[in-house]
Structure 1
């Protein structure tokens, strides 16, 4: 069975928005290996509409010679959970609903990795569809921005399955649903 996994950069105060403005001073080989392992275990991406629109506006226009990730991003299978998007134009993209995800998990292949899409991550947790949540907790208080669990009003019990401390002070925390 395939797993639906999510990996997010998160600050001590729960901010997941715009990690490009605060996370890079903490990126090192240890984190690169962790992120790379998660990417290699997946053969499909799962995106929310906002992340899809950002990526679809950027990646198809990148030269693979200059941007090494362009080929992988453009050629990979992409599933988009949206009730408003009607015709995705980015190659290898399929619209799905939350209800479709249970069947996708039963199909053949590697993991399905949620990329960004914090709102989708929370929805998947609520619906019991997220198999693994990998948080790279950075030792920084960002102060403002979208927080991962701002809109959660009910308890969602999780079990910590793995924890690793990187030399930069970043904690790699992997959770499953309890």
Structure 2
């Protein structure tokens, strides 16, 4: 399976709490819900199409808890996101949870890169990461992510958890798609392209 990462980012790279004011207030974050004013039809259509390509999900603890508190109650058969999340395998990476009770969920507590690599080696289409910043950063550093789907929003918050925090493994990316939605959000889809190349303009 291919591993894909989908996440929402501000222009200064913040991925924390896009959905609601109370989604993630850790670290004193007071800007939750920043994505809402920019949500449009294209976001919903594209997101649903991607979910339809999933054969499983990789979730960090916080994202798992947010999803598990909401999606099981969504029973509309026409909702592709709910249907896929509720039915498909979910692999939850956490060192603090003792169990995961959402249907078809499996807890991964240790040796994460090796176990994720084993999952990636199984037949199927996409094993999807949504949000899950700590997990996403770790898998990116281990070269396990095949595609990054980044929704960049025209807002600057000045603080909060970022996808690309200091200390990341240097990696080049190749842009394979870019488009702008009517609300001014820029969708950029990348695939890893090995190590960065360097040069010298003075030479």
TM-score interval, normalised by the smaller of the two chains: 0.7 to 0.9
- Residue 151 (structure 1) shift: 4.0
Q: Superposition pairs for residues 5-154 of structure 1, below 5 Å?
A: 5-20=4-19, 21-60=33-72, 62=73, 64=75, 68=79, 70-96=82-108, 97-154=112-169
Please state how far the C-alpha of 1:45 moved relative to its aligned partner: 1.1
User: Is the Cα contact below 8 Å between 2:52 and 2:84 reproduced in 1?
Assistant: no
Larger radius of gyration: 2
**Structure 2 unaligned runs (5+)?**
20-32, 194-203
Label 1:166 to 1:59 Cα distance change in 2 as closer, same or farther (>3 A). closer
Deviation at 1:87, TM superposition (A): 2.5
- Secondary structure of 1:13's counterpart equals coil
Match of 2:22 in 1: none
Note the alpha carbon deviations across 1:43-94, whole angstroms, 9 max, x for none: 211101222233334444x2525x9554543222101123343422222011
Distance between the aligned counterparts of 1:18 and 1:78, measured in 2? 21
Distance in 1 of aligned mates of 2:53 and 2:85: 15
Identify, as 1 or 2, the structure richer in helix. 1
Aligned residue pairs: how many?
176
Structure 1 residue 118, shift from structure 2 partner: 1.1
CA shift digits 1:101-139 (9 cap, x unpaired): 222222122201102201111111100000001000011
Give a deviation string over 1:133-175, Cα, whole Å, max 9, x none: 1000011112222111124344122211111122222111011
Asked whether 1:163 is paired with 2:162, we answer no
Q: TM-score, normalised by structure 1?
A: 0.87
How well do the aligned residues superpose, as a CA RMSD in angstroms?
Answer: 2.2
Match of residue 192 from structure 2: 177
